Structure 1
Amino acid sequence: METAERAAVRERAEAVLRRLAGDQARLREDQWRAIEALVVDRRRVLCVQRTGWGKSAVYFVATALLRDRDQAGPADSGHAGPAGPTVIVSPLLALMRNQVEAAARAGIRARTINSANLDEWDEITAEIQSGAVDVLLISPERLNNPDFRDGVLPKLAATTGLLVVDEAHCVSDWGHDFRPDYRRLRTFLAELPERTPVLATTATANARVTQDVAEQLGDALVLRGTLDRESLRLGVLDLPSPAHRLAWLADHLDQLPGSGIVYTLTVAAAGETAEFLRSRGYPVASYSGQSDDADRRAAEQDLLDNKIKALVATSALGMGFDKPDLGFVVHLGAPPSPIAYYQQVGRAGRAVEHAEVLLLPGVEDAAIWRYFASLAFPPEQQVRAVLAALHTDRPLSTQALEPLVDLRRARLELMLKVLDVDGAVRRVRGGWLATGEPWVYDEARLRRVAQARTVEQQAMREYATTSDCRMRYLRERLDDTGAAACGRCDRCADPLFAADVSTAALAAAQTFLGRPGVEIAPKKLWPTGLDAVGVPLKGRIAPAEQALPGRAVGRLSDLGWGGRLRDLVGPEAPDAPVPDDVAGAVVEVLKAWAHGDDPWPRRPVAVVAVGSRRRPRLLGSLAERIATVGRLPLLGEVSAAGHGGTAGPRGNSAQRVRALHDTFTVPTDLADALAGLDGPVLLVDDLIDSGWTMTLVARALRRAGATDVLPLALAVAG
């Protein structure tokens, strides 16, 4: 195309942008280069640009130009008339909702296909075929839904006018947020007509991830811009304890501009932080992957409408949340990589002159990083076991696989998606099948990825302690060649916030976090598929064999008791008698259980311990202290016969029940003592992980004559 023609295309592009963003909007030079490559040259483009740069403007403007019948390009472009719809692969429904609204402002008709609108799929498909849809947004998970993959995807690929891969760093397993479903894009790309333009976008990719994504796209134009965010003022506050961090928030949250996000590393921490801040008079809401979808939507909207001061969230609130006037981001605990941190802080300051970004790291951060790292791709032996189980003449669902392999549901599903991408298994109606194709366990690559994660974690430690410019440090970790001192952060200029906390706020935080006691919900259903491994249990656990709701001092992930409990029951913890402070917390839990809002139905009349091989001194002394304080008889313990099975503590429920079934025997003298009791037995354990040990011991006690069983533990995992 001649220079004059390209200038005319740019003129039309500027006009579309003004409809989208206002009369004063003008295309950045790299925005135009991307649009030109897509619309005029029909190329593949990778945009690595900071949050707020305007990546969505590129694909909306390109869509409008490609969909314009009169401006579809010369005949040799391979397109007669307007292009087909733009397909945007996007990771979050929240982003989809925002994008549909943004598209409407530019006169672009956008629809979504996702798990929340199954009843609209046929209608939307018909609209696509009739040319009534300009933009179709789909989640990466749709790409491997059997009905969508086999029935919709081939036709969609054949008619796509522009493919957009949003948050493209998810394609790379070197990235901080690798998602196997994104790898299905390779199939989509291979089925696109020749010269179909493709745009991949991300704000968070270092050189390694950028190269990986570009190679998967093919011959791509890479447009990488500066990652500096002139509105962000970075700072770090080194505070000695979780109580100090909560107290600091209580003292200073109202001084932070506008409304913002407080990120935590765990679901428990998000709930605790939100509860404490509400108790100090702040309007806040909590947000995590465990929140109901309706609650998440309501919380997002309240933040967008500035009805709350802060949303206290896990990383579940990340990609796709768009609030241009977000005034601050505070992290209680450091994410495990500079890339993940930059991605989250990039939510702030997009349409305001100044936004505050503060990191409040904790000594417990490393333990949390290790836990999440332990959930990575499984060892080869477990993968081979799954492949062997899938060599059948009928598909197996994830639920049916669980009793056969020692992997929890989320980890099993992640592994199956990777195997699907690698061609070793295939998802079909009813579950999964092995393809029989050769497959190699790439241990060397997995080791290199794990080593990269270790380097990233060390970089986050260095970010917290560096004497250099913090923005420059982040940009250098993301391989930004233009990294320079920002002049704004707490290293370049005087810190805006001190680490001091008031006596009143600290006392309130210590009291709040010092409250022991969490409820233990009893199991009511057996895991599915136990008959496949010879365990004759299914359906509902008989009420006469269930435990009652129980109590524990705290969760291992709690801000308050978590650290203390990890010292006692963590993998490296030595076995020793229960310390006085923890024994005192147990007594407080028992008092609250007896006289609180949801008391036990009847006072326990005896104490029984779960036998422990790992921590017999801890558990034995705990049971004795409880019996002494409560003036109750200590009847003994129930232990697992033999080795007690082979399932690890992080195995799935079906494997745990298989390993423990029929291994607990109530000694004769204990059974005789139970027969003479009229009231519940307090069943004491140190750590509840899956919950099945307590469930099966309670079942054994109930079958031996116990009227009821009240579970009590020091800690709950998670």
Structure 2
Amino acid sequence: MYGSSFQYKSETQKEALIQILNGVPQLIVSLPTGGGKSLLFIVPAKLKGSGTTVVIVPLLALKNDLLERLKKFEITARGFDSERTDHAQILIATPEQARTKAFLEHLTKLSSNNELDRIVIDECHAVVQEASFRPSFTKLYELRRLKCQFICLSATLPEDVLLPVMNDLLLENSMVIVNTSIPINVFYNVEYSSPKLGIYEALMGANRRVILKGNLQKLKVKTLIFVNSVADGNYLAQILESPFIHSNSSNEEKNSSLNHFGDTNSEWLITTSFLEMGVDFSDIACVFHYDMPKTFSSWIQQMGRGGRNVEHCECLL
């Protein structure tokens, strides 16, 4: 599938894939952002004679991004649609879709025909952290009644999150494989700056360090800026003259900003926790936190957007 030059990103990734291919009934895997979690369901879904792998993702942005990335693997993949019953090697749904009668009936039919290979809960820490305002997460345990392999994936599973995930999804006897969440090419700095005068200087300082330490030939460093509020995002967008997108931005605004940021040398993109999961860019060399992230897991997810395919990435708070 990958050719003789393929290398695993870590021994943890390799061990997890071996366990999945060997048919372990329940598995929880934590790999750092960029650590190759998607490989763990892409490879078994690609194998000859495979049935359907169902992937539950927390965000529509993640669903769309995953569908786009799967195209290069020549995998039959689609989002769940109650009007379609054609075979898909990978079927993607949100937690809200996973609770619908049509979805449960479709999976029950697949299971009864021995065509349901596995269910994958991606970003499974959200089962605990987002349950208070997205009750659909609390009902995902209902999928456990289906006879298939059950896999949970995350980049952030500290013990105080792991144990509730195991309890909420009825996975008390699950095998757990955990790797560090901190990429070795990402470096962290905390700086105090004046809210009105120091933001630009702090950003430029981080950009200069990336250029010097990462041996970059270009002067523009792709930077993702996280804020906790729409008001702060609008403020930074004005003073930095950069695009700002959040969960309530129009689809046109989101797609335009994401495509421009991903496909060009655009320097800065401002966002909220809307982008802390689900959208992967290969060359972000600086992640800037305008505010203290609300949770440790959010901080891990946000800094994990950077460091892919770059030698040196700065995370600045």
Give TM-score scaled by structure 1 length. Answer: 0.40
* Structure 2 partner of 1:323: 281
For the 8 Å contact 1:331–1:358, the answer to whether it is kept is yes
* Structure 2 partner of 1:205: 157
Counterpart of 2:108 in 1: which secondary structure? Answer: helix
* Structure 2 partner of 1:53: 35
- Say whether 1:259 aligns with 2:225: no
Q: Deviations over 1:372-396 (max 9, x none)?
A: xxxxxxxxxxxxxxxxxxxxxxxxx
Counterpart of 2:278 in 1: which secondary structure? Answer: coil
Residues 394-473 of structure 1 aligned to structure 2 (within 5 Å): none
Residues 47-126 of structure 1 aligned to structure 2 (within 5 Å): 47-65=29-47, 68-69=48-49, 82=50, 84-113=51-80, 121-122=82-83, 124-125=84-85
Computing the radius of gyration from Cα coordinates, the structure with the larger value is 1
Give the drift of 1:169: 0.3
2: CA distance between counterparts of 1:309 and 1:232? 19
Counterpart of 1:161 in 2: which secondary structure? Answer: strand
1:232 to 183, 186, 189: 186
Q: Deviations over 1:72-116 (max 9, x none)?
A: xxxxxxxxxx4x210000112222233223323233211112xxx
2: CA distance between counterparts of 1:277 and 1:305? 20
Give the drift of 1:221: 0.9
Question: How many residues were matched structurally?
Answer: 303
Give the drift of 1:348: 0.4
2: CA distance between counterparts of 1:307 and 1:271? 22
Counterpart of 1:321 in 2: which secondary structure? Answer: coil
For the 8 Å contact 1:48–1:203, the answer to whether it is kept is yes
2: CA distance between counterparts of 1:248 and 1:186? 48
Give the drift of 1:315: 0.9
Counterpart of 1:87 in 2: which secondary structure? Answer: strand
Identity between Structure 1 and Structure 2 (%): 26
Give the drift of 1:39: 2.3
* Structure 2 partner of 1:306: 264
* Structure 1 partner of 2:135: 180
Counterpart of 2:275 in 1: which secondary structure? Answer: coil
1: CA distance between counterparts of 2:199 and 2:9? 43
For the 8 Å contact 2:276–2:298, the answer to whether it is kept is no
Q: Deviations over 1:541-582 (max 9, x none)?
A: xxxxxxxxxxxxxxxxxxxxxxxxxxxxxxxxxxxxxxxxxx
Q: Would the alpha carbon gap of residues 91 and 356 (structure 1) be closer, same or farther in structure 2, given more than 3 Å must change? A: same
For the 8 Å contact 1:176–1:337, the answer to whether it is kept is no
Q: Deviations over 1:508-536 (max 9, x none)?
A: xxxxxxxxxxxxxxxxxxxxxxxxxxxxx
2: CA distance between counterparts of 1:253 and 1:332? 13
1:162 to 118, 140, 151: 118
1: CA distance between counterparts of 2:131 and 2:274? 14
Give the drift of 1:325: 1.4
For the 8 Å contact 1:85–1:161, the answer to whether it is kept is yes
For the 8 Å contact 1:164–1:198, the answer to whether it is kept is yes
Give, as a single letter, the amino acid of the residue that structure 1 aligns with 2:102.
F
Counterpart of 1:168 in 2: which secondary structure? Answer: coil
Give TM-score scaled by structure 2 length. Answer: 0.87
For the 8 Å contact 1:39–1:197, the answer to whether it is kept is no
Higher helix proportion (structure 1 or 2): 1
2: CA distance between counterparts of 1:270 and 1:51? 24
* Structure 1 partner of 2:217: none
* Structure 2 partner of 1:353: 311
* Structure 2 partner of 1:333: 291
2: CA distance between counterparts of 1:356 and 1:254? 8
* Structure 1 partner of 2:232: 269
Q: Would the alpha carbon gap of residues 177 and 25 (structure 1) be closer, same or farther in structure 2, given more than 3 Å must change? A: farther
For the 8 Å contact 1:144–1:184, the answer to whether it is kept is yes
Unaligned runs of 5+ in 1: 1-15, 70-81, 114-119, 279-283, 360-718
2: CA distance between counterparts of 1:143 and 1:203? 22
1: CA distance between counterparts of 2:71 and 2:141? 30
- Say whether 1:287 aligns with 2:245: yes
1: CA distance between counterparts of 2:190 and 2:226? 14
For the 8 Å contact 1:260–1:303, the answer to whether it is kept is no
1: CA distance between counterparts of 2:132 and 2:304? 15
1: CA distance between counterparts of 2:36 and 2:133? 23
Root mean square deviation of aligned Cα = 2.4
For the 8 Å contact 1:169–1:213, the answer to whether it is kept is yes
For the 8 Å contact 2:206–2:316, the answer to whether it is kept is no
1: CA distance between counterparts of 2:308 and 2:75? 24
Give, as a single letter, the amino acid of the residue that structure 2 aligns with 1:269.
D
For the 8 Å contact 2:181–2:300, the answer to whether it is kept is no
2: CA distance between counterparts of 1:171 and 1:299? 29
Unaligned runs of 5+ in 2: 212-220
* Structure 1 partner of 2:215: none
2: CA distance between counterparts of 1:62 and 1:250? 42
For the 8 Å contact 1:170–1:178, the answer to whether it is kept is no
